[in-house]
Structure 1
Amino acid sequence: MKNSLRKLKTPLLMMICCLLGVGAGAGNVSAEGASNSYNYSYWGDAVAAPAAYVATELFTGPDLGTGPFQEPNDLHVTADNRVYVLDSGNNRIVVLDHDLKLITTVDSFTSEGGPDTFLNPQGIFVTEDGEVLVADTGNKRVVHLDSDFQLVKLIDSPESELLQDTFSFEPVRVVMDQAQRIYVMAGGVFDGFMEFNAEGSFTSFIGANRVYIDPIEYFWKQISTKAQRSQMVMFTPTEFTNLDMDPEGFIYATNGDQWGDNIKKLNAQGNDILRRTGYFDPQGDILYMSSEGPSRLIDIDVADSEIYSVLDAKRGRVFTYNGDGHLMYVFGGLGNQMGQFHTPAAIDRIGEDFLVLDKALGEITVFRTTEYGRTLNEAVKSYYRGEEMAAYELFHRTIAMNANLEFAYAGIGKALLRQGDYNEAMQHFNRSLDQNNYSKAFLLYRKEVMREHFPLIMTLLVVAVIGIFAAARIRNKTKRRKGASA
């Protein structure tokens, strides 16, 4: 019943907000010292939350000794915390160490015996072995360099029956898995990501977005003339806006779909396997001003334990979710203060901290965890690793700092469920309004009670059956005696 009410309430609220032209105040919710720190309750209300991350440092090109950045588009942090910044306007890669100290800059490489350079590159990816892949957009190619920045191969002008003769290859983002397969997000491609084998040959498209059909637009197309239909918008899938790859080889992607699933987790077949069992589907803000519209997600970063974060270009906010799709925390925003951005372009983690790249200002903002953020991160990771007692204690500490974080009660319930304390788990699932897990705990608790009291129950049943049988025998004998006397 509660779940039905919640599902009913949210669309009604959003319809009212759209009609009145006002939002539900998500942007106005603030915790002390954190102007953009909030979460969403089970009922879809924006509630205050402690800051999980705070901006502590700001770096520009001159601060790093590289000269000014010019419209940097992407950054990547490796497992050993090296930071690769793609300075697109200057056609170079800037490599920093874990303290953001300059290591080197790469603005050229050797190709066919001579120097070669980048032209307006848009995306960069670095493998565990230090190999570098660059989406060299202006030159319409992908550049694959080894850890010493020597050319491995160039991918350009792919040929296939799947591609039209007029196809122009314009790579924007790129990743590579452990099998050396390369996945490219290319401009103007609506069929998904382009997959290339280890030799650099195009093989297929994967993960195409579904087509969203506006019912009103579709109705008008049915009744309009051919000339009118030619002027209408075509029903085509939305393009992806970015992608990242987790250690297991799954692709996490964002797209520009404002009405469908704008975050996806793709397996090798291109099927979306992202879990969406939170109170709301992962999508950024769920309440907003009607004049602004929903979040426009432009980057995604995947950490360990299935934790992932997305960057909203429309409001400059970073949203972080656990593997089940529960919103953990929000930080960032647009503005001129520390921790706010003008044109956010990319995010990545360096250890437990975040780096956010501002394209227009050419700045890197460092966000460091607070005690609340560290505790919540470790609680989610402990549960993922199967450390029930640690997760139980950490979620309790999280709730002590933020009683509004409803899914933390579910985290405690799941930890208790794994430990076999079904009765206590039920109580926490009830507090988090997690009906599915409550039902699971109830069934297990009922089995436990039945198993515990089974001998007594069976004894009582046997005694009852014997009693009924004996009473029937006595009654029959009494009737026979009365009949004989008569």
Structure 2
Amino acid sequence: MIIIILVIGTEVNTVQAANQTASYNYSFWGESVHAPAAYYPTRLVDGEGLGVGMLNSPTDFHVSEDNMIYMLDTGNDRIVVLDEEFQLVETIQSFDKEGELETFSNPRGLFVTMENDIFIADTDNRRVVHLDEDLNLVKIIDDPQSELINENFVFQPLNVVVDNANRVYVMADGVFDGFMEFNVDGYFTTFIGANRVQVDPIEYLWKRFATREQRSQMLMFVPTEFTSMDINEDGFIYATNGDGSDDAIKKLNSRGDDILRREGYFNPIGDVRYTTAVGPSRLIDIDVTDSEIYSVLDARRGRIFTYNGDGHLMYVFGGIGNQLGEFHTPVAIERLGDDFLVLDRELGEITVFETTEYGRTLNEAVRSYERGDEESAFELYQEAVHMNANLEFAYAGIGKALLRKEEFNDAMHNFEQSLDQANYSKAFLLYRNEILRDYFSIIMTGIMVLAVLLVFLRIYLKKIRRKRVASI
């Protein structure tokens, strides 16, 4: 039933969500429903305001643990560093390599570790540059060698993240085998997390009957490339592939297995309903924060979609346009505390978004549940529902909080409200067991009394029968 509704909504209907920039969410039935704004735009930050001249096609930025903002001004081959008040700290345009100054060429991605080491995907120089906190060169990763790599491969890194063990993961141009993993010394070890091959059944059937010449002109069945990556504090890589598939967002463990939970009404894919002319969301950046909350950027509509760890859509904001809070060519998103930063490549500016009361309440509800504070989660989800009656998944959050508090009957009611069949069944079984446990002694006593009565009744009936026989 749900799949049928999705197909109809995708191919035929021009829904409000496809044409509006106002906040919305999706119901269990795939309908776009109104939602209060979770974020609102407050300011723009550009190069001229910072005193560094116009930014030229910035492509990436990163907020460090100490809330420093490292922005990659790609067209100017430099890194602009800001503090949390958006004041200029420094610009990084070169580094010393064995006594000579080296510069960057079309750098496309960067990452800053907890120790403030900087990793730069120096794309046109075909290397990843690792600088320490004082901007001293630590190492350069280039020209990876392995039997797993084609001898004609040209290393052009586009993005980079680093885990707590100092393993480096690189998203490289033209690589369909997943992310490239490098050890602490900078040597290539393996590929992880390759996307599944997307096969069109009609095209596959056509290839079966096509001639060799016709097949040579057709597209190969190859996995899609990733479009972005981020890593959380536990070392799990979150990634997007932007191809509109049901697994357009992934959470990869150390073996490259996708362990993302998809327990929401729909898989995390951006917009569920859209017009055929525009097509599905193209996810080009991902940002993961605490409590398994993650956000993705849709390049087609300029929208930011945020999900909780179970895959429920929390809120949507942004859009393409000329007003504050809308973008021309958004390319990257980051969080600064609970604020959102969106980088626009064409306009060369950062839009800053702050939370509304609704956004803060929903964020804290999810965080409270994840850290096991059921009382706070229950109260905060209740507040969120009062502000947005259309937020169906909040009832599931309330139900889960009640489930942990062992209030199974009330949990069942809330799971029924959210149409969460799996958790409703779980709550029902626990509630049934609770009833049986509470009334076990009474039930067993009743059974024993009934058994004794049946025995005496049987004896009594036998005596009556004997008297009747004797009288005959």
TM-score bracket for the superposition, by shorter chain length = over 0.9
**Are 2:399 and 2:410, in contact at CA under 8 Å, matched by a contact in 1?**
yes
SS at match of 1:477: helix
What is the distance in 1 between the residues matched to 2:353 and 2:249? 23
SS at match of 2:48: helix
Worse overlay, 156-165 or 114-123: 156-165
Q: Does 1:338 align with 2:338?
A: no
SS at match of 1:179: coil
What is the distance in 1 between the residues matched to 2:315 and 2:414? 21
What is the distance in 2 between the residues matched to 1:415 and 1:352? 23
User: 1:485: Cα distance to partner?
Assistant: 2.5
What is the distance in 1 between the residues matched to 2:466 and 2:37? 86
Q: Stretches of 4+ moved more than 6 A in 1?
A: none
What is the distance in 1 between the residues matched to 2:342 and 2:398? 32
User: 1:7: Cα distance to partner?
Assistant: 4.1
In the TM superposition, 1:37-436 aligns within 5 A as 37-436=23-422
User: 1:256: Cα distance to partner?
Assistant: 2.6
- The one-letter amino acid paired with 1:25 is Q
What is the distance in 2 between the residues matched to 1:28 and 1:427? 35
**Are 1:53 and 1:369, in contact at CA under 8 Å, matched by a contact in 2?**
yes
SS at match of 1:50: coil
**Are 1:25 and 1:46, in contact at CA under 8 Å, matched by a contact in 2?**
yes
What is the distance in 1 between the residues matched to 2:153 and 2:3? 44
What is the distance in 1 between the residues matched to 2:395 and 2:414? 5
Query: Which residue of the partner structure matches residue 32 of structure 1?
Result: none
Query: Which residue of the partner structure matches residue 14 of structure 2?
Result: 23
Q: Does 1:11 align with 2:7?
A: yes
- The one-letter amino acid paired with 2:341 is L
Once the two structures are superposed, residues 179-229 of structure 1 have per-residue CA deviations (whole angstroms, 9 ceiling, x without a partner) of 110000000000000000000000000000000100110011011111011
Once the two structures are superposed, residues 124-161 of structure 1 have per-residue CA deviations (whole angstroms, 9 ceiling, x without a partner) of 00000000000000100000000111100001111111
- The one-letter amino acid paired with 2:18 is G
What is the distance in 2 between the residues matched to 1:141 and 1:180? 17
User: 1:12: Cα distance to partner?
Assistant: 3.5
**Are 2:70 and 2:80, in contact at CA under 8 Å, matched by a contact in 1?**
yes
What is the distance in 1 between the residues matched to 2:51 and 2:133? 22
What is the distance in 2 between the residues matched to 1:456 and 1:102? 74
User: 1:23: Cα distance to partner?
Assistant: 2.6
Q: What is the number of equivalent residue pairs in this alignment?
A: 472
Normalised by the length of structure 1, the TM-score is 0.96
User: 1:8: Cα distance to partner?
Assistant: 3.8
Query: Which residue of the partner structure matches residue 481 of structure 1?
Result: 467
What is the distance in 1 between the residues matched to 2:71 and 2:58? 7
What is the distance in 1 between the residues matched to 2:125 and 2:105? 6
What is the distance in 1 between the residues matched to 2:370 and 2:265? 19
What is the distance in 2 between the residues matched to 1:57 and 1:458? 69
User: 1:28: Cα distance to partner?
Assistant: 4.4
Once the two structures are superposed, residues 278-311 of structure 1 have per-residue CA deviations (whole angstroms, 9 ceiling, x without a partner) of 0000000010110111000000000000000000
For the structure 1 residues 324 and 473, does the alpha-carbon distance in structure 2 shift closer, same or farther, using more than 3 Å as the test? same
**Are 2:105 and 2:124, in contact at CA under 8 Å, matched by a contact in 1?**
yes
Once the two structures are superposed, residues 418-469 of structure 1 have per-residue CA deviations (whole angstroms, 9 ceiling, x without a partner) of 1111111111110111111111111111111111111111111111111111
Sequence identity (%): 60
- The one-letter amino acid paired with 1:11 is V
- The one-letter amino acid paired with 2:14 is G
**Are 2:343 and 2:349, in contact at CA under 8 Å, matched by a contact in 1?**
yes
User: 1:106: Cα distance to partner?
Assistant: 0.4
For the structure 1 residues 6 and 260, does the alpha-carbon distance in structure 2 shift closer, same or farther, using more than 3 Å as the test? closer
Once the two structures are superposed, residues 346-404 of structure 1 have per-residue CA deviations (whole angstroms, 9 ceiling, x without a partner) of 00000000000000110100000000000000000000010000011101111111000
Once the two structures are superposed, residues 295-341 of structure 1 have per-residue CA deviations (whole angstroms, 9 ceiling, x without a partner) of 00000000000000000001000000000000000000001110000
What is the distance in 2 between the residues matched to 1:178 and 1:28? 42
- The one-letter amino acid paired with 1:197 is N
User: 1:257: Cα distance to partner?
Assistant: 2.4
- The one-letter amino acid paired with 1:12 is I
SS at match of 1:364: strand
SS at match of 2:110: strand
- The one-letter amino acid paired with 1:173 is N
For the structure 1 residues 335 and 458, does the alpha-carbon distance in structure 2 shift closer, same or farther, using more than 3 Å as the test? same
Q: Does 1:440 align with 2:426?
A: yes
SS at match of 2:25: strand
- The one-letter amino acid paired with 2:108 is Q
**Are 2:395 and 2:417, in contact at CA under 8 Å, matched by a contact in 1?**
yes
Once the two structures are superposed, residues 74-112 of structure 1 have per-residue CA deviations (whole angstroms, 9 ceiling, x without a partner) of 000011110000000000011100101000000000012
For the structure 1 residues 260 and 413, does the alpha-carbon distance in structure 2 shift closer, same or farther, using more than 3 Å as the test? closer
User: 1:477: Cα distance to partner?
Assistant: 1.5
**Are 2:38 and 2:357, in contact at CA under 8 Å, matched by a contact in 1?**
yes
- The one-letter amino acid paired with 1:345 is V
Q: Indicate the RMSD between aligned Cα atoms, in angstroms.
A: 1.0
User: 1:46: Cα distance to partner?
Assistant: 0.2
Worse overlay, 456-465 or 364-373: 456-465
**Are 2:6 and 2:272, in contact at CA under 8 Å, matched by a contact in 1?**
no
User: 1:13: Cα distance to partner?
Assistant: 3.1
The answer for unaligned runs of 5 or more in structure 1 is: 30-34
**Are 1:212 and 1:260, in contact at CA under 8 Å, matched by a contact in 2?**
no
The answer for unaligned runs of 5 or more in structure 2 is: none
**Are 1:278 and 1:326, in contact at CA under 8 Å, matched by a contact in 2?**
yes
What is the distance in 2 between the residues matched to 1:8 and 1:315? 25
User: 1:27: Cα distance to partner?
Assistant: 3.0
SS at match of 1:243: strand
User: 1:67: Cα distance to partner?
Assistant: 1.1
Once the two structures are superposed, residues 55-77 of structure 1 have per-residue CA deviations (whole angstroms, 9 ceiling, x without a partner) of 10001101112111000000000
**Are 2:245 and 2:269, in contact at CA under 8 Å, matched by a contact in 1?**
no
